[in-house]
Amino acid sequence: MDLTNLFRGRKVLVFGVANERSIAWGIAQTFHKLGAQLGFTYVGESLERRVRPLAESVGSDLILPCDVTDDAQIKAVFDEVREKWGGLDVLVHAVAFANREDLEGRFVDTTREGYLLALNISAYSLVALTRHAMPLLSQSNGSVVTLSYYGAEKVVPNYNVMGVAKAALEASVRYLAADCGPEGVRVNAISAGPVKTLAASGIKGFRGMLGFAAEKAPLRRNITLDDVAGAAVFLCSELGNGVTGETLYVDSGYSIMGM
Ligand code: NAD
């Protein structure tokens, strides 16, 4: 198997690049090095100014607006992908949002609006994007990968409603994998350790989480964007052909520790 050409000619659509620190950008750069053709989406004009130059630096010919709460925008993206590329091999979903006030204090104080917003953007979006992508992905035994976090499974201070959203996301991965598998499409999640990004800056005490994870994890360090990208390469290429519905931890081993 020629690993340097693992993604040669593969069409990869990436949701969730905000800037050069984004986990999605780490994945995109690695896929680019392995020969992928990349498309990107962004939300709003200020992020477009960040995303467009990054996308152009990896030769992207598909840079489209998409707020994942808007079904019309999602449809427009996949109409454009079908028209321009005629197919799709990989969908990268690295999208999440919760109100800042819901990422501190007590979970029990989460409002209905805050709860629904976090679940809508961070979990339901995977279902909507996968549904639209399926007709394209099924032509090429394609795959979907999303990003989760340990707070889906255990209580992490201040992660609050996002932990519930990630639990829904991981369960959605399993149900989507069951639906999409018969058509040859795989759906997996990477549960990443903490990484300093724009989204992470919304979590109160995030710096403390980084330090704690590096101190307690078996590998005694925080993970890098390359660590996550390596797992994404595995899951989204033929290397991971037998894997679907899985949540793969890329967290320096933090999640195995009991005490
Ligand atoms: P990031 O801020 O770089 O990326 C989050 C992305 O979500 C942004 O590009 C933002 O534009 C997008 N987004 C938010 N609302 C949206 C909407 N309505 N429509 C479309 N896009 C929207 O931060 P990141 O840390 O790279 O986050 C990527 C994913 O990784 C998220 O799912 C996050 O929960 C997950 N994750 C992050 C960490 C971490 O410590 N940073 C750890 C585990 C998992």
Domains of the chain by residue range: 11-251
42, 115, 149, 150: the active-site residue: 149
Closest CA to 129 of 168, 165, 95, 170: 95
Alpha-helix runs per DSSP H in the chain:
23-33, 44-57, 71-85, 112-119, 125-137, 160-180, 206-216, 225-236
Determine whether 159 is an active site residue.
yes
Range 248-252 average pLDDT: 98
Q: What is the CATH number that goes with domain 11-251?
A: 3.40.50.720
Instruction: Write out pLDDT tens, residues 63-107.
Output: 999 999 999 999 999 999 999 999 999 999 999 999 999 999 999
Instruction: Write out pLDDT tens, residues 115-145.
Output: 999 999 999 999 999 999 999 999 999 999 9
CA distance 192 to 196: 12
What pLDDT is stored for residue 214 in this prediction?
Answer: 97
C-alpha distance from residue 32 to each of 165, 185, 231 (Å): 30, 21, 15
CA distance 64 to 82: 13
Our measurement of the distance from residue 246's CA atom to the centroid of its chain's CA atoms, rounded to an integer in Å, reads: 14
Amino acid at 249: Y
Contact 47, 126 (CB under 8 A): no
4 pLDDT tier (thresholds 50, 70, 90): confident
Structure tokens at 35: 């020969």
* Nearest CA, atom 40, ligand 1: 194
Cβ count near 177 (within 10 Å): 21
Instruction: Write out pLDDT tens, residues 6-64.
Output: 999 999 999 999 999 999 999 999 999 999 999 999 999 999 999 999 999 999 999 99
CA of 95 to the centre of ligand 1 (A): 4
Please give all residues whose beta carbon lies within 6 A of any atom in ligand 1, as ranges.
Answer: 16-18, 22-24, 43, 47, 66-69, 94-97, 121, 147-149, 192, 194-195, 197-200
Residue 1 has pLDDT above 90, yes or no: no
Contact 7, 34 (CB under 8 A): yes
Closest CA to 40 of 80, 2, 1, 72: 80
